[in-house]
Amino acid sequence: MSFTGRLAGKVAVITGGSSGIGRAVCRLFAQEGASVAVLDRDKIGAKETCASLSNHHGNRHCFVHMDVSSEDDVVACVKSVEGEIGKSTILVNAAGITRDQFLSKMSGKQFDDVIAVNLKGSFLMTREFVRAFTAEEPGSIVNIASIVGKTGNIGQANYTASKAGVIGMTKTMSLELARKNIRCNAVLPGFIKTPMTDAVPEEVIKKVLKAIPMQRQGHPGEIANACLFLASEESSYITGTALEVTGGL
């Protein structure tokens, strides 16, 4: 992809950057000129992502080993990023986990773990981003939700609850933060080929593909493109939206 500089001079913080959608977002934002902070509790994966990022016109990158569900980690991370590459004006909350199980068999810990990372993690990161933000230039927050937050999905009561929560939280955040010159939007991926979906049994994949009008899985880069649009000034009058990237699912 050629360099267009849509994020030149920006500092972007991206959680879940060690793999999948988060890694794709990190790479695309760096290609577009942003200095990128790669955040993840997978230290090795985050370091690999950071080492792979493009440098354009002096942009710099860093990785932070942290857990988005830990309030202490989040507070320390925001300060660390500012010290290394500057104040951020873009936040992408892409960290997410699954602990799939049928409702009757799901443990309280399986439920709590998913909510803690997917929902509470997005809340904590956004809260600290907002506290550190100055309205000198526009800010943009992009929360990665999921289409199953609208439709539900068998065996994912915890995951769908967390993603439905992200959608609702995004709506409220957009109302509160508009006066601070910060936009907040959500991206709702469909069935995207990532390490998370690679663990899905083949027969389940075939069943899902039949329900997708475009008859294929999406790619992380296609989600990253949506994030780039919402992070850039091209979407300067868009806030509070939930953008579905699903192949029609």
Residues annotated as part of the active site: 159
Which tokens sit at 139?
A: 């800010």
In angstroms, the CA 50 to CA 39 distance is 10
Bridge partners (DSSP) of residue 229 are: none
CA–CA gap between residue 39 and residue 78 (Å, rounded) = 10
C-beta separation of 93 from 130 below 8 A: no
Structure tokens at 235: 């979407």
Q: In what order do the strands lie in the sheet with 35-40?
A: 62-65, 35-40, 11-15, 90-93, 139-144, 182-189, 242-245
Report d(CA 157, CA 166) in Å as an integer.
14
d(CA 111, CA 161): 9
What is d(CA 80, CA 40) in angstroms, rounded to the nearest whole number? 14
Here the tokens at position 55 are 């440098």
